[in-house]
Amino acid sequence: MKRILAIDPGLSGGLAYLGASGVILDSMPATDQDVCILVTDRLAISDVCYIEKVGGYVGGKGAPGSSMFQFGRNVGFLHGLIAASKTRVIEVPPQTWQKTIQAGTKATHGTRWKAHLKGIAQQRQPRLTITLKTADAVLILEHAMIAEGLK
């Protein structure tokens, strides 16, 4: 069985890992040390890592530059961990994984977009306890399983 790690890289993101015992979910830890431990442990047992490819803009109108800087720093930190592990990595833009899982578009769901994605994740993985933090990671994992020929 192919072992896949899927990462939603935001501070309020998460990780979804598919291994021999099924899917394991984790919210993104709060400290660099805890992120390093969790991600390194998961990468050590992964064949491939799918990580959401993010653009340079984060937040809404008037979002502080410090938030965008911190987000970019976190994404870079994760990419460093992945590169150090020598695990095959695939960056997947949100539009791509959302199209694969047939989520529709943010424009059609407005302020309920995150809740909509969480609902899809719960529907696709009903045995898991899915939170807003782990929903995108679950759906990135669903995209990865389709892309890797596991679904």
Read off the CATH number of the domain in which 24 is found: 3.30.420.10
pLDDT tens string, the chain, 151 residues long: the values are 899 999 999 889 999 999 999 999 999 999 999 999 999 999 999 999 999 998 765 556 666 677 777 788 899 999 999 999 999 999 999 999 999 999 998 888 878 999 999 999 999 999 999 999 999 999 999 999 999 999 8
Which domain does 69 fall in, by range? 4-147
CB 145 within 8 A of CB 18: yes
CB 106 within 8 A of CB 148: no
How many distinct structural domains can be found in the chain?
Answer: 1
Nearest to 14 by CA among 51, 56, 67, 63: 51
